[in-house]
Amino acid sequence: MKNILIVAALTLLTACTQTPDWDYDKSANFSNFKTFAWVENASLTKDTTNYQINGLMEKRVRTAVNKELSQTLGMSLVDPAQADVLVNYHASVDKELEVDSFNVGYGARWGYWGTGFQRDISAREYEVGTLVIDIIDRESNQLVWRGAKEGRLKKKQSPEQREASIKETVANILSNFPPQKQL
C-alpha cells in the first residue's frame, strides 16, 4: 500500500511539472556562437498591463539570462555590433479557469416521485505565465533558437522567491541551448 501511495504521489508530481518547449533551426551552426547581446528594444513590459510583468521582473529575467549564458554556457556579453547572437524575450499572462465537480450524495424520496444526486461544483480562476526566450543570429537576423516555458503563477511571493523562480525558469528554458544532437 505504501508503494502505491509513493508511485501515485510521484505520478501526480510529474504531471504537474511543466517542461520547457524548444524549437531551433537545424541548419544553424551553434558552435560558432560565443558572444551575445540583447536586442536593443527587448522589453517584457511594452505589451502588457499585467501587474506581475514589471520593471523588477524584467531586471530579474535579464540577470538570470546573462548569468546562464555567461557562467553556465561560457558565452560573453558584448556590444550588439560585435555579438554572434542577439537575445530577445517575451512574457505573457493568461487567466485560466479550473472547474471541479463531484457527487457528494444520492437521495431518494418515497412520498413523491423522484430520486436525485447532489453535486458539488467549484471553480477557481488562476494565472498562467509564459516566458519565451529567442536567440537570433546577428549576421542573418534570423531566429535560430526559441525556448519557452509556462506555469501557474504564484502570488504573494517575496522578492527572493520571485528571483529564485525566475532563475529556475530561465535555467530550464536554456537547458537545451545550444541544442543537443539527436541520436
For 29-43, 88-102, 130-144, which range has the lowest pLDDT when averaged over its residues? 88-102
What pLDDT is stored for residue 71 in this prediction? Answer: 94
Q: How far apart are CA 58 and CA 44, in angstroms?
A: 6
Tens-place pLDDT, residues 133-171: 999 999 999 999 999 999 888 888 899 999 999 999 999
C-alpha cell at 179: 541544442
Rounded to the nearest 10°, the torsion over CA 47, 70, 28, 91 is -20
From 3.30.56.10, 3.30.160.670, 2.40.50.180, 3.60.110.10, which CATH number describes the 18-95+127-176 domain? 3.30.160.670
Q: How far apart are CA 103 and CA 41, in angstroms?
A: 53
Tens-place pLDDT, residues 103-135: 666 655 665 665 666 667 788 888 888 899 999
Q: How far apart are CA 121 and CA 101, in angstroms?
A: 4
